């Protein structure tokens, strides 16, 4: 027995040393010809590739990669969140899967207002009342059931279970965030010490036995192991204890939905993206259709004319987002009108190449901007048959509501903040909303997530997406233009400096060195206000060209990784 123990210990130490020494040798750029995964963490990307080498397709790889991210990327990878997925089969069929969180049955329009009708600060962002009914587990299972090739569901969870049980060395970025949110973890989870240390350092091992237990239940029972039984009971108990209103029926009745994609043509390309309750597909489609009428390539990358046009288009599109977009199962979103040429021409009728249009002249409103963050995560995958998957999932804020399910080791989202708590009052990303995105029982909150697949000549051309809250749409928009209009390869297109306008607040957010001094001065002279921020988007993308796959992870995130074969 002692010899067996020592042998097991030796094997584990060899495994640990091997993984520690190779933990964060990430690939930001890779060219290969068979299959590829781009995700927010090297362990997760490697697992996705391994599944494809074992005979799995892009959807199988997506499932395994997502569950791995729930372990190694806890600030955004998740069981307790939700997301959106675009799937394009080798035969060219494209569909979208909506596994967005939903409002509990007891939710109502004035959930976050005090007796005076004012929004109670922080109520929709922290604690149990911020939690929407999770969709991730159901979404991954639904995708696998319809499109997966691996017959045994448990095979796809095994790598994540091993990582949770055996532990892994945290990255510098994850250590920083674990330290930053220590007090929040203690406030909402005083008895849970998994994520608590005096100080986390890069390379420290994070072992999650409770999460491993949950993953084993899901591996054995599928979604029923999460939405019914002991795990569901624990979710409800912790949410209610933390001030929330989710009940067992909310979990049991959760459903995913396949939806018709938003598809628009841009030059010789077709762009396939998400419909409501994501705002991404409509907003991206509007932006591309607006700029298609102008000679961007002739004007040049980040020239005054190009930048000014893009900003003015973004102002109008984000104003439309605030007024018209929400869950189409609850509100008649005018999709066809918003994407019609006649409407967009009219929308830009007051556009002047010489002068900025104040946002108050486009749509009046009060605003306050909150610091942007990147707690969503995205995965792009192309397999050997050229099945493509673009999938974005989220907890919303870093570690979501900061609430951990006792005994089961996973964070719950704070997606209720993505509803309009009150018309005209911004959420944490500075986005305002109206009646279309008001809170209602079982309704899905509006999102900016924009998983996207671009095709050319009926073949996959590009797969991309990004975290970044309100900047997701414009980051995807610019990455597409960088390749199609400005002839960049995928790596350069992803690393290129970005800028963003979201209607309110009325200024251009930009990364350092985005604009030349001359262009910055021209924008200011035209009436634009400029504000420098650290990062805009963390794009993960694959370009399929000349029989090869070119993958790009974003250098804005040290842990982004491309793997392939």
List the strands of the sheet with 561-564, edge to edge.
Answer: 257-259, 94-99, 82-88, 388-394, 376-382, 36-39, 561-564
Distance in angstroms (rounded) separating the CA atoms of residues 432 and 365: 9
Q: How far apart are CA 143 and CA 302, in angstroms?
A: 39
Return the SS3 of 82: strand
Contact criterion met (CB below 8 Å) for 314 and 529: no
HEC assignment per residue over 215-235: HHHHHHHCCHHHHCHHHHHHH
The answer for 407, left when phi > 0, alpha when psi is -120 to 50, beta otherwise, is left
Of 96, 214, 376, 514, the active-site residue reads 376
Alpha-carbon distance 61 to 36, whole Å? 10
User: Which residues, in sequence order, are CB contacts of 242 under 8 Å at separation 6+?
Assistant: 127, 128, 129, 131, 188, 401, 403
State whether the Cα torsion 236-239-244-246 is positive or negative: negative
Report which of 454, 449, 492 is spatially closest to residue 471, judged by C-alpha positions.
Answer: 449
For the chain, what percentages of helix, strand and coil (3-state, to nearest 5) are there?
40, 20, 45
Q: Which 3 state secondary structure label does DSSP give 440?
A: coil
Is 376 a catalytic site residue?
Answer: yes
- For residue 16, the Cα-to-chain-centroid distance in whole angstroms is 30
What is the tally of helices (H) and strands (E) in the chain? Answer: 20, 19
How far, in Å, CA of 281 to CA of 260, rounded? 11
Positions marked active-site = 376
């Amino acid at each position: 027995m002692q010899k067996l123990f020592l042998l097991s210990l030796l094997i584990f130490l060899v495994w640990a040393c091997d993984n520690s020494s190779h933990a964060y040798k990430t690939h930001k750029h890779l060219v290969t010809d068979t299959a590829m995964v781009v995700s927010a963490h090297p362990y997760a990307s490697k697992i996705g590739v391994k599944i494809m080498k074992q005979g799995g397709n892009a959807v199988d790889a997506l499932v395994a990669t997502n569950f791995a991210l729930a372990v190694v990327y806890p600030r955004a990878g998740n069981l307790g969140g939700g997301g959106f997925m675009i799937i394009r089969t080798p035969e060219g069929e494209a569909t979208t899967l909506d596994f967005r969180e939903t409002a509990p049955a007891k939710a109502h329009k004035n959930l976050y207002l005090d007796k005076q009708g004012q929004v109670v600060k922080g109520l929709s962002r922290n604690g149990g009342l911020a939690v929407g009914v999770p969709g991730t587990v159901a979404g991954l299972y639904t995708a696998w059931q319809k499109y997966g090739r691996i017959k045994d569901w448990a095979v796809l969870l095994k790598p994540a279970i091993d990582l949770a049980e055996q532990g892994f060395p945290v990255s510098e970025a994850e250590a920083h965030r674990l330290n930053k949110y220590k007090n929040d973890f203690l406030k909402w989870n005083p008895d849970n010490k998994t994520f608590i240390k005096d100080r986390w350092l890069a390379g420290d091992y994070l072992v999650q036995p409770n999460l491993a237990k949950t993953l084993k239940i899901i591996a054995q029972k599928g979604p029923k192991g999460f939405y019914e039984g002991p795990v569901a009971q624990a979710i409800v108990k912790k949410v209610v204890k933390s001030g929330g209103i989710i009940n067992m029926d909310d979990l049991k009745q959760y459903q995913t939905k396949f939806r018709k994609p938003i598809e628009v043509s841009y030059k010789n390309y077709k762009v396939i993206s998400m419909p409501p309750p994501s705002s991404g597909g409509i907003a991206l489609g509007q932006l591309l259709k607006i700029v298609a009428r102008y000679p961007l390539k002739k004007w040049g990358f980040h020239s005054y004319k190009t930048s000014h046009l893009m900003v003015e288009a973004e102002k109008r599109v984000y104003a439309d987002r605030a007024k018209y977009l929400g869950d189409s199962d609850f509100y008649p979103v005018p999709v066809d009108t918003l994407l019609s040429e006649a409407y967009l021409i009219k929308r830009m009728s007051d556009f002047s190449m010489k002068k900025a249009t104040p946002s108050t002249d486009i749509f009046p409103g009060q605003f306050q901007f909150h610091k942007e963050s990147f707690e969503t995560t995205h995965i792009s995958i192309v397999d050997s048959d050229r099945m493509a998957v673009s999938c974005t999932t989220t907890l919303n804020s870093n570690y979501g509501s900061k609430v951990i399910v006792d005994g089961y080791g996973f964070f719950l989202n704070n997606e209720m903040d993505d509803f309009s708590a009150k018309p005209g009052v911004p959420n944490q990303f500075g986005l305002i909303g109206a009646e279309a995105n008001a809170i209602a029982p079982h309704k899905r909150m509006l999102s900016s997530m924009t998983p996207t697949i671009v095709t050319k000549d009926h073949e996959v051309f590009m797969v991309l997406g990004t975290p970044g809250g309100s900047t997701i749409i414009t980051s995807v928009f610019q990455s597409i233009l960088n390749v199609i209009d400005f002839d960049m390869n995928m790596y350069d297109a992803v690393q290129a400096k970005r800028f963003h306008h979201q209607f309110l607040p009325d200024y251009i957010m930009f990364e350092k060195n985005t604009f030349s001094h001359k262009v910055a001065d021209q924008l200011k002279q035209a009436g634009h206000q400029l504000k420098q921020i650290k990062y805009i988007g963390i794009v993960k993308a694959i370009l399929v060209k000349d029989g090869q796959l070119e993958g790009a992870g974003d250098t804005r995130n040290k842990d982004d990784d491309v793997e392939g074969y």
